[in-house]
Structure 1
Amino acid sequence: MTAFPLDDTYYLAQDMRLFHAGRTPGILNVTGNDFQVQAGSGMNLTVKNGVAFTHTKADEMGGLIFCPRQDVSLTAPVAEYYTRYDYVAIRYTQSSNQVQVVYAKGTAEKPSAPIRTQTQYDLILAIIIVPANAGEITQDNIMDVRLDETFCGLTIDTLTQIPTQAFQNQLTATIAKMQSDWDTFFEGIKNQMEGDVATNLQLQINELEQWKSSVAEGLEDIMVEV
């Protein structure tokens, strides 16, 4: 059990990470270009400085704040035989107990999802398309996926969000029950309503016939007098 801050209590880092339990992993977008991957000269890349929030494993509540405090330089390996899809990621590694911006060599297939296990957690910033035997990476070869929640996304503090979906579900259920109750009520009195309506209609028809008869009799009297 974890509860903090209690007096005179020793805490582990995993306990303190719970302070961020309401956050989703991603970049904080503090500078406006947090962790943007830019092409340099040749095969070189620059990853802009920024602030991110990352988990340390796939099913973790809470996590870590990461800020390298300066731009990071990386170099893409040459793809000798086929076009390769590499990626740049913010990576937590349990064995080294570090969070770093890394360049990950890929394959001929585009990454379908970042690696997120019990010992490694990736936030993919950009997919790098490395043409076969190319000696240069241009900006056109860089697919920015920072805003794609499948790969990265923006950090959201879910504690500040109103749980509208729960309210919506309750409203939908209430409307459905009201409709069901009305259908039951209507079915129960439908025959009676049909009888009442028919009776009322017949009374109005009878009154109309009486009025027509009275008018006709009045016209006959006038004609006789004339």
Structure 2
Amino acid sequence: MTVTVSPGLAWLKAGDFWGVSAFEKNAQVLTVDTADGELARIDAVCVRLDKNLNVGQLVIKKGSYTPQPPIIAAPVRDLDYDEIYVATIMVRAGATSILASDITDQRLNESFCGLMRDGVTGIPTAQLQTQASAIIAQIQTVLEEAIQDVQDGTTFMLRTIYDPSDERKDIFSELAGKAQKNHASTTNDYGIGDATNYGHLKASNAIDGTSGENDGVAATPLAIKTLNDIKVTTNPASMSLYVSSTGSDTTGDGTEQNPYATIQKAISVLPKHLSHDATIYVDGDTAGGINISGFTGAKLNIAPKTSSQIYHMTGRVLVENNHCPVEISYCYSDYAAVSGTQVFTASNNSGITKVVNCGASTSPVNEVSPYGADNFAVLHVVNGYRVSGFGHAYFASFGGRVVVQGDSGNAPISQPFRAYNGGIIQILSTSFTQTTWASQGSVIVKSTGATIG
């Protein structure tokens, strides 16, 4: 930490009837010692005369940590030294920089410096200092009152319109206190109202809307302001959350040091609108499944903490109603399947969902697929891994689209593809070979070089 002292001239006392002048023609940068983590101190910008060496010095005189709060050490003025303080510096506990508000100009303070008239007689500045301090304190009081008025609401900003007599009243508080509870309601004893009470309501009720007299209250400026104050939460930068088999959904906070226990918990704390990419890192197996719904914006990733490390979970993956890309990698589901379901599913107009090096296993259940898409969603499967226990490997329906890029499936499935009601299955891998598939009035597209049937 440093402070800069401007050029100037100082008069230092060498004896009872004579002195010396110390002149510095260039600005000087002085280093302030590192702050203590818990205790404050007051340092002084000191102009010092070493009478033994007949040398003038400009130094930072470090203050003491005792007592607390700190005090300014007295200048040394004896046979060996004469010191004056041109300024003092409050070194706050834990400070990493010096603020302008930390520095106090002491040049008019006769206890530390003062002004000289002729080299012998000083100019009295105590009264000037007192008056200046009083003026500054008065201005500070006025500013603090004004700031408080603004923070309290409308008392300051609308006073010239609603309080011309300067009674210092809050117009909303006054109206809320005088108005009837809610005579606009038709669901309670207040009735429809008449010429004298129709439409009366208490302003503070305008934003409750929970039950009884507060339901159905008309909008007021206060209600509109409250609604406008509600901000859409988002992530101002790329975001990372962590999940671990040793984590906790109760005491965890999603950091690498204190992870959650389930992927779904991490998903629940993400903002629904992603201004930047968000990644959930998984370390070890986790319980439950994944439901990703209602996200917009940037990309949502779910990946292993250690590159290429497979993690297991006990539930299925459902991605629906999103307007952002989603990518899940190295996830292996041990889902206890239900007939007619898919383990990795994109649904309901969701954006492109990409699953990379993922797989699933289940006990044999009718009409169960590891990968599926429906209702105009897109599922992009890269190196999909599957084992026996499935009726179909890839399933598409109602405008859903499954894109297959590579297939690591062992244990051949008799009917790996099923697409109907406008579902589309597209094969991108040129080495993909399969002999049979099932189709009910849909389209199955293959890339050049792929062999199907």
Larger RCO (CA within 8 A; separation ≥ 6): 1
| Structure with higher helix content | 1
